[in-house]
Each structure stands twice: as C-alpha cells, then as structure tokens.
Structure 1
Amino acid sequence: MSDSSTSGASSAPVDPETLLARRSEARTWFEALRDRICDAFEALEDAAEPGLYPGEAGRFERTPWTRGDGSEDLGGGVMGMMHGRLFEKVGVHVSTVYGEFSADFASRVRGADHDPRFFATGISLIAHMRNPHVPAVHMNTRYITTTLNWFGGGMDLNPTQDYQRDEAFEDAQAFHAAAREACDAHDPAYFEKYKAWCDEYFWLKHRGEPRGVGGIFYDHLDSSDFDADFAFTRDVGEAFLDIYPQIVRRRMDTPWSEADREEQLIRRGRYAEFNLLYDRGTKFGLETGGNVKSILSSMPPEARWP
C-alpha cells in the first residue's frame, strides 16, 4: 500500500508552543504505557507454573541510552529487557530522538525533503515466549514530526505452531477482535484498511508467506486533528495491553515437546529474516543513529534454519 493512500490530509501549521506540548504529551503517554506493559508482563512471570517454568521469575532491566557522541543533545531512550522463565526474551523500549536526517534519508521521509529536522517519540516491543504454544507478539506506536506530523504503528500476532497460524484460530480471532474494537471506536473503515496494510507489510516476499497471522498496521495518520489521531493511537496501545496477556494466560500452561520447540525455532527464523530485510523501524533506527542493542533486541534469542 502506498503512502499516498494512507497519509490523509497534510498537517496544518502548528505554532511552536503547541507543537512542544504535543510532543511532550505523546512522550509521556508512551512512557506510561511502557510502565503498565512491563508490570503486566512481570505479573505473568510470577503466575507461570513452576513445574513448566522453573527458576526465578524475570524482571525488566532498564538501560538508558543517548543518541550521538555526546557533543550535543540528540535525544535517546530507555531499553527495557527481560529474560525470564515464561518470557524467554522480551524488549519494551521507549525513545525520543531528534535532530536532522542525513540528506539521503531525508529525501525518503515525508515532509523532510526540504527541511531535514525531525522529532520522533514512541514505544516498541517484541516478546519471544519460552512455550512454543504461546504466540510471539510485536507492537509499536509512534509520533513523528518533520515539516508535517503523524502517528503510526500497530500490533501483530506471530504464532510459532502451524495449527495456530490461521485467522480462524481462537487466538487470532481474539487479537483481531481487539484491534477491530479499537479501530471501530474512531472510524469504521480503519480496521479493514489497517488489517490489509498489516497483511501486506508483514509479508515475506522472498518466501511468499506471511510472518504471522496479522493484526493492524498504520502509518502517516494525519487527519489534521491531533487529538483524534492521538486518541486512536492510545486505543491501539490499550487494546494490546488488554488482549495479549489474555492470550498468554490461555496458552501458558500447555506442555510442549521437542518437536514443538523445533517448529518454534524455525518459525523464529522467519521473524529474523523479516526484521533484517524489510522492517521500517529497524531501518529508521539504524539510519538515525539509534541504539543498536535496542534496535536489534527484536531478534529472537534462538532460531534455526534447518
């Protein structure tokens, strides 16, 4: 799907004071959502059955980072990582970065071709689960300003077992229903449009197959109504925080076999391929001098290419 079919109206001019307030409001929301997600994931760690998940329950370790060489303020973020007994590897990160795009990158970013200055704040997470029957998941939402401003993001479910990789399976249905509810509260056309964009975006072209069972993906959301677009973005985060823990609790007590684990590791390889070949967030982070550890923390802790 091309950018032009989803970008909406061009941003109306915003006075500097209002723009600063919007940036602060978005950043504060993403950081608060991070805290709530981390709390929910740690509660699931605590609830994991010791017989299936021996050892100490995991806890997030937060590591601040700054962008650039320190000679000027270019922003930064906090990398939040947990290696637990239920969550084999999960990263919940927030960042707020600003400065100027390189000339080459600016030519490819909406609203930056004539003025390379930018601001970006957001949350990004990926959870790789120890139990092969608990689907992996990805979610991110962000607010970006150049000479224009917009929201983007989404959430998508990534089961590692073939029997779960069907939109008719109950986990996929529940995940999509949560996304639909968030969309329908704002525009009845959103869900089908953003679901189709998700299916197209998370498609492994070189293999001719989807990465997971989808969800929603949107970018360049700019209706010229900041409050409405921000409210939708918040509801996407709320939908994720509500539905994913439900799915984890539904599957976390299911025993697994070595064959299940083998299938999981092969499917994780597909996830790694997408992130390295196609993912916009990975490319954006690397091309804007983001924290490499945080950017590549989305990679699975173990994968296999038989």
Structure 2
Amino acid sequence: MTDFESRKTRAADWFKSLRNEICAEFETLEREAPSDLYPGEPGKFVYEDWQRKVENGGGGTGGMLRGRLFEKCGVHISVVKGEFTPEMAARTPGADKDPRFWAAGISLIAHMRNPHIPAVHMNTRYIVTTQDWFGGGGDLTPTQAKDRRPDAPDALAFHAGMKAACDAHEVADYNRYRDWCDEYFHLHHRDEPRGTGGIFYDRLNSGNFEADFAFTQDVGRHFVKTYAAIVRGRMNEPWTEADREEQLITRGRYVEFNLLWDRGTTFGLKTGGNVKTILSSMPPLVKWP
C-alpha cells in the first residue's frame, strides 16, 4: 500500500526548505545591488501565515519582499486539503472516485525595478487524490523587446538551467516540457508569448516517486542558481525612462495572462486559497496605453 502520508511530509518539508533558500539568496541580491542605482535600505521578506476558511483545510505562509532591487517579489508555500467541486473533480485524476485532495507547493513571482532584469515565475507542487503527482516549472519574462528574442543571452541562460535540471533525470523530457511551457504561457487573445519560456510539466507520475521527487527538487535548485546569476549579470545596468515605460506596458501582458488564462490562479481561488498570495503575482505598477 502506498505510504501517501510519508510522501506528503517529505514534499511539504522540501518546499519549505526551498523557500528558505530562495528568500535568503534574494535578500543577498538586495544587499549586493549598487546604491547609486538602487538607493535606500535593502529590503527583507515579511512573512504572514494564513488559513483556509474551511475547517481543517490547511493554509500556508506568504512571503513578500518590496525592496530596492526587487520591486515586488512573492515567495509562498502552502499545504491545503479539502474536497473538489464536482466540476473540478471530473477533470482531476483520481478525484472522480473520491473528491478529497491534498496539495502542497511553492510559488514565486519576482518583478524587478530595473527594466533590464527579466521578471521570473517558478512553482512546484505535489498533489494527492486517490493518485499522486508532481507539477511545476519556471519561466522568464523579459520586459524589453531586445531581450524577448529566443536567442537573447538571458533566455539562453535560463533555458540552459532548466535543461540541466531535466537532463539529469530520466523521468524528465526537456524538449517536451519546453514546448509545453510555450503552449501554456501563451496569450491567446493577442496570439503572442508571455515571455521567453522555460519548462512546464504537470501530472508527473512515472511510477517511481523517488525519481519524480528528485527531479522536482532539481528544478528548484537549478532555478535559484540560474536566476541569481541572471540578476547579478544585469543589476549594474542603468536604465532610461523609455526603458521603464516599456517595462510597465509589458507588465500589462503579465496581468492579462494571470487573470485570463492561468490555471493556477483559478485553482487557488476555486479551492478557497488565500487571495492575497494568489494575486501577489500582479505587478506593482503597470500601464495600458
């Protein structure tokens, strides 16, 4: 018989550990940012616990950083449980037999003050019904047209990091996950990509929990290393008002995707998640000219 309880504990502990590693690295970047471009005191994460409104439904911890380098950054972890609605149960593996679910994960979004540093999103999760699986990925969203080419240096570096995470594990398929990411993070109403992609995977259950878990952990580890290197490589670049204007307009596309197309937003809201953390992905400033 599958020991789901042990798997749940290990997954939840990992997501918390990854949260701590990411937040520590991002606060280090805040301190390293040059004061001539980013005046003021370096920001620190502020954490806030929350509980689902349903009894014994679990909850999570939201972490928000509003700094001088990271204009707005949310790194959140959660462990929730409950029952799917009949509509959601019909679309979810194993929930047609029993609507109860358990889910844990980490989700982050970083919107940077410097228009030359791309925004980034990452999440990984573990979900249990009468079946269990992992999902997640990471994607990059440059805000300047010159950086949104597939062959731009930041795009190549980010994809190299995600490919390295996939190539180390037989259960992962980089080419498939890359294409899945491009398909998922597409603004259908504008027929344009949200950014320069990355990887996306869902319902990963190869039949080997240890292999699936190890891959999901490596996605997190490679993300931290890869994105921190991109930030350090761009944080010393000055910017103009025109650069900032382009950044704010590009952020509008980010809002459109998250509110119109993102399944994670829908899942969180429909299962009684914390609205504050779910919508923390919204950029702090944005324009629709």
TM over 0.5: yes
Matches within 5 A, 1:267-306: 267-306=250-289
Q: What is the CA deviation profile of residues 239-268 of structure 1, one whole-angstrom value per residue up to 9, with x for unaligned ones? A: 101100000000111000010000000000
Does 1:170 find its partner at 2:138?
A: no
Q: How far apart are residue 206 of structure 1 and its match? A: 0.4
The match for 1:133 is 116
SS for the counterpart of 2:91 is coil
Q: How far apart are residue 114 of structure 1 and its match? A: 2.3
Q: How far apart are residue 226 of structure 1 and its match? A: 0.4
The match for 1:233 is 216
Matches within 5 A, 1:210-221: 210-221=193-204
Q: 2:271 is aligned with what amino acid?
A: T
Q: How far apart are residue 68 of structure 1 and its match? A: 1.4
Matches within 5 A, 1:133-172: 133-172=116-155
The match for 1:19 is 4
Contact 2:171/2:206 (CA < 8 Å) preserved in 1? no
Listed as ranges, the gaps of 5+ residues in structure 1 are 1-12
Does 1:244 find its partner at 2:219?
A: no
Q: How far apart are residue 224 of structure 1 and its match? A: 1.0
For 1:125 and 1:142, the matched residues in 2 are separated by 12
For 2:152 and 2:85, the matched residues in 1 are separated by 44
Please identify, of 164-173 and 151-160, the stretch whose mean Cα deviation from structure 2 is larger: 164-173
Q: 1:175 is aligned with what amino acid?
A: F
The match for 1:39 is 24
Contact 2:172/2:215 (CA < 8 Å) preserved in 1? no
Q: How far apart are residue 189 of structure 1 and its match? A: 6.3
Corresponding residue to 2:46 among 34, 52, 61: 61
Please identify, of 58-67 and 178-187, the stretch whose mean Cα deviation from structure 2 is larger: 178-187
Q: 1:136 is aligned with what amino acid?
A: A
Q: What is the CA deviation profile of residues 114-163 of structure 1, one whole-angstrom value per residue up to 9, with x for unaligned ones? A: 21000000000000000000000000000001111100000000000000
For 1:156 and 1:189, the matched residues in 2 are separated by 17
Contact 2:78/2:104 (CA < 8 Å) preserved in 1? yes
SS for the counterpart of 1:107 is helix
Which structure 1 residue ranges, 4+ long, deviate > 4 Å from structure 2? Answer: none
What is the aligned length?
289
Does 1:185 find its partner at 2:168?
A: yes
For 2:93 and 2:279, the matched residues in 1 are separated by 25
For 1:54 and 1:108, the matched residues in 2 are separated by 49
Contact 2:126/2:134 (CA < 8 Å) preserved in 1? yes
Does 1:110 find its partner at 2:93?
A: yes
Listed as ranges, the gaps of 5+ residues in structure 2 are none
Q: 2:152 is aligned with what amino acid?
A: F
TM-score, normalised to structure 2, is: 0.98
Identity of aligned residues (%): 62
